Structure 1
Amino acid sequence: MWRPVRSMLPHNKKSACIYAMQNTLGFVHTKIFRVDADIHTVIIRTSSPWLMRAMTGGLELYNYGCHLPWLEGHQLLYLQDLRRLVGLMQSMTDHGTNPLKFRFWCVEPEANREAIELAMRVYNGSRSTQN
């Protein structure tokens, strides 16, 4: 079942990446998967190597105590949100009649400029409503 990330709007770089992935998968689920579109492969570009690893099987590392360097021994705050996103993606890949394949491309930020600009607009808008 689709549920939003705990903190509806991004407030740091890591949660912004998760928020962007949530919106991407939500769009894919609503506009492609649920309407039985003729699309069978979805390519998601991200400039976040850690998020790409988490979405392509690296999330299991957290279950075994392996952490990414930027965690520096701290608990991953968004582990439940990531698990939920991976679960949503897997529900679309494991579907019997209309399974989707997901491909993740890790690109330089310059190659992902449109997504970054959109994320910045959302982030700046969320900050202005908090003031």
Structure 2
Amino acid sequence: MTTRLEHINISVPDARATAEVLGTLFGWETRWEGDTPGKGYSVHVGTGDSYIALYSPGHAMSDHRPKKYTQYGGLNHIGLTVDDLDAAEAKVRAAGYMPHLHADYEPGRRFYFDGPDGVEYEIVSYA
């Protein structure tokens, strides 16, 4: 049996706006978007193999964000691979986000940045 990750689903204030940023940064396309039960809206942005489902509920939500790495089941970061880490970092900086936690390790190099809606992304290259 082969298993692969197809998608993750996260709640954001504005699914369309976040999808636009992620599409610009990573060259992703919107795979699907539309209304969801309860007057919410969802945008699936990514590649043909995997995507992030961005969900904006049709009601007010708490903006309390637990600290990362402090609770079970919390979202710590989303890891993405790229072919050219330097080019990816330049795009992230040009979009106004500040890369941090740069590291070279076996088998690759990486950096992190806090993107739209406070979600942290790890960008790694194995090239």
Provide TM-score, normalisation by structure 2: 0.26
Q: Name the structure with the higher helix share.
A: 1
Structure that is richer in strand per residue: 2
